[in-house]
Amino acid sequence: MRAFFGLIWLLTGAVSAQELPPPITDEDYLPVSRAEAELGQLLFYDPILSGNLNIACATCHHPDHGTADGIALAIGEGGIGLGPDRHVNPAQMPEKRIPRNAPALFNLGAREFNVLFHDGRLEQLADRVRTPLGADMAQGFASILSAQTMFPVLNRDEMAGSHRENEIGRAVRQGLITGPDGAWDLIARRVATFPAYAAMFSNVYPDRGAIEFTDISDAIAAFMAFEWRSDTAPFDAMLREERALQGDAARGLALFYGRAGCSGCHAGPFLTDHRFHAMGAAQIGPGKAETFESHYRDEGRFRVTGRAEDRFAFRTPSLRNVVLTAPYGHAGAEPDLARFVADHADPVAGLARFEADRVALPAFEAAQDFVVMHNPAETAAIAAAVVRTPIALDGEEVRQITAFLASLTDPVAKRGRLGIPDAVPSGLPVAGVEGQVKGISQ
Ligand code: HEC
Ligand code: HEC
């Protein structure tokens, strides 16, 4: 069988089987319990985890938008609506935009996903998970994915809200994270007041005591891993030697694994090396400054390691289902996939072609979105960090690569396995359920 397909590839001048990654198998994923995932599904869609009871994980990671939110920079607190319809709430303006693009959540239950966030600030080391909280991090979470879930609820702009609005925002502001008055315990106690949750938790975790936030995050992690495993795209059928790619997709495949050099970084069956590279993607929005700094830069991996070679480097994203996850880049500055690929192949020239009016951002007058892009010294620094040699691709080749990227779209993962619940135990509105999301205005 493999010889037969190898022959076809040779005949079409495409890729030999040796250059392709092996097909994904069950062994590539950590085991997941379905009961745990079902509990996690409800928590993922329930605004009960947010300080002001108005934002769920799904607000920014929604299956209708490829498990992201369809806009360049998310609006958490102070936003209303879902996906490209999300806009600022004039009655409760956000303080600022979220500094980075909300990433998609496909395949995060795979064993090789050992660094999370665009800058990899959460990292699975041999003996522990490294987190920005250091010694203040709670212990006892099941995986790096569970550890990740413990962060958005602490973020004022994402889910916690301000100290003037609610007790979780207040705890965060006072630096109370762990312990009985800490933000995580406050949320866990809230969840425990709903009998349906209490029953499900004791059923799923019979050996654990009172609900802790690590139980909540373990369940949500199980849900994400179960729901958005993605290994049944046409690309997978090809890797399993069931069906070869045809036409433009096959030609794009040959470029991706050949002259265009994409697979050097978008490597392996998940199309990522999980490493960090400066690729000159445009930087919009508030950036990542410390509280004592005032600038709009986002220096990416450099903020984690302090190493000069990591300046403006971001993690190579997995390209699975990438057609569904526009806009692109760590700040989501480019809405069009083909245009992103063309700019990315020649990063310095691509950066120079940046057009602010293409950016898909909900209006927010107070935001200073283009400070970096309108400052030649700032853009020169981003360009100077790029080490990659440009690759010349004509429009036809970009189209073929984009056709190949479409072969990574997986109908099963797109739909999700458990889907969107009709209702959640808190009784709060579920984002994306007919007639409900418009009610989220408080
Ligand atoms: C207001 C929008 C928003 C909300 C709400 C939100 N996220 Fe995110 N999420 C983001 C953004 C933006 C990032 C990227 C941040 C970065 O890299 O610095 C992210 C990153 C992640 C990642 C890392 C993915 C990767 O590949 O590195 C996971 C997992 C995740 N979020 C899950 C969740 C869960 C679970 C919740 C609910 C507890 C949640 N998010 C709530 C916007 C949001
Ligand atoms: C030197 C490593 C490297 C090479 C080579 C490379 N990429 Fe990337 N790619 C990255 C990194 C890093 C990012 C994230 C950049 C950022 O957001 O700042 C990225 C982002 C992307 C994205 C955006 C995904 C998203 O979700 O935002 C696409 C699409 C993409 N690359 C496709 C390609 C294609 C097609 C090629 C070949 C023409 C290619 N890449 C070559 C490292 C690389």
Ligand 1, atom 35, lies closest to the CA of 149
Q: How far is CA 244 from CA 1, 233, 424, in A?
A: 12, 12, 43
**343 shares a domain with 322:** yes
**196 shares a domain with 286:** no
Q: Is the pTM of this model over 0.85?
A: yes
Ligand 2, atom 30, lies closest to the CA of 341
Q: Residue 126 has what pLDDT?
A: 86
**165 shares a domain with 102:** yes
Q: How far apart are CA 59 and CA 1, in angstroms?
A: 45
Dist. CA 125 → ligand 1 center (Å): 21
Angle at 157 between CA 192 and CA 197, to 5 degrees: 15
Task: Give the number of the atom of ligand 2 that is nearest the alpha carbon of residue 262.
Answer: 37
- Tens digit of each residue's pLDDT (9 = 90 or more) over 58-71: 999 999 999 999 99
Q: Are 299 and 313 in contact (CB under 8 A)?
A: no
Find out whether the beta carbon of 312 lies less than 6 Å from any atom of ligand 2.
no
Peptide bond into 327 cis (omega under 30): yes
**351 shares a domain with 277:** yes
**87 shares a domain with 20:** no
Total domains in the fold of the chain: 2
Q: Residue 7 has what pLDDT?
A: 46
**160 shares a domain with 114:** yes
**117 shares a domain with 75:** yes
Q: Residue 10 has what pLDDT?
A: 45
Find out whether the beta carbon of 281 lies less than 6 Å from any atom of ligand 2.
yes
**236 shares a domain with 224:** no
Dist. CA 145 → ligand 1 center (Å): 11
Q: Residue 293 has what pLDDT?
A: 84
Q: Residue 14 has what pLDDT?
A: 61
**248 shares a domain with 205:** no
Q: How far apart are CA 324 and CA 15, in angstroms?
A: 25
**186 shares a domain with 125:** yes
Q: Are 123 and 114 in contact (CB under 8 A)?
A: yes
Paired tokens of 281? 């993607």
Q: Residue 11 has what pLDDT?
A: 41
Three-state SS string over the chain comes to CHHHHHHHHHHCCCCCHHHCCCCCCHHHECCCCHHHHHHHHHHHHCHHHCCCCCCCHHHHCEHHHCCECCCCCCCCCCEECCHHHCEECCCCCCCCCCCCCCCCCCCCCECCCCEECCCCCEEECCCCEECCCHHHCCCCCCCHHHHHHCCHHHCHHHHHCCCCCCHHHHHHHCCCCCCCCCHHHHHHHHHHCCHHHHHHHHHHCCCCCCCCHHHHHHHHHHHHHHHCCCCCCHHHHHHCCCCCCCHHHHHHHHHHCCCCCHHHCCCCCCCCCCCEECCCCCCCCCCCCCCCCCCCCCCECHHHHCCHHHCCEEECCCCCCHHHCCCECCCCCECCHHHHHHHHHCHHHHHHCCCHHHCCCCCCCCCCCCCCCCCHHHHHHHHHCCCCCCCCCCHHHHHHHHHHHHCCCCHHHHHCCCCCCCCCCCCCCCCCCCCCHHHCCC
> Which residues are registered as beta bridge partners of 167?
none
Find out whether the beta carbon of 328 lies less than 6 Å from any atom of ligand 2.
yes
Q: Residue 440 has what pLDDT?
A: 39
Report the chain (442 residues): mean pLDDT per 10 consecutive residues.
Answer: 49 66 97 97 98 96 97 93 91 89 98 97 91 86 93 94 94 93 96 97 95 97 98 97 96 97 97 98 94 91 96 98 98 98 98 96 90 97 96 97 98 97 96 56 34
Best probe residue, ligand 2, of 15, 257, 279 (max atoms within 8 Å of C-beta): 279
Dist. CA 224 → ligand 2 center (Å): 23
Task: Give the number of the atom of ligand 1 that is nearest the alpha carbon of residue 113.
Answer: 26
Q: Which domain holds residue 306?
A: 2-26+232-409
Dist. CA 105 → ligand 2 center (Å): 17
- Tens digit of each residue's pLDDT (9 = 90 or more) over 310-324: 999 999 999 999 999
Best probe residue, ligand 1, of 96, 148, 230, 303 (max atoms within 8 Å of C-beta): 148
Q: What is the CATH number for 93? A: 1.10.760.10
Dist. CA 61 → ligand 1 center (Å): 7
CA atoms within 13 A on the CB side of 193: 9
Q: Residue 127 has what pLDDT?
A: 87
**240 shares a domain with 164:** no
Q: Residue 5 has what pLDDT?
A: 52
Q: Residue 95 has what pLDDT?
A: 84
**372 shares a domain with 425:** no
Nearest CA to 256 out of 135, 400, 156 is that of: 400
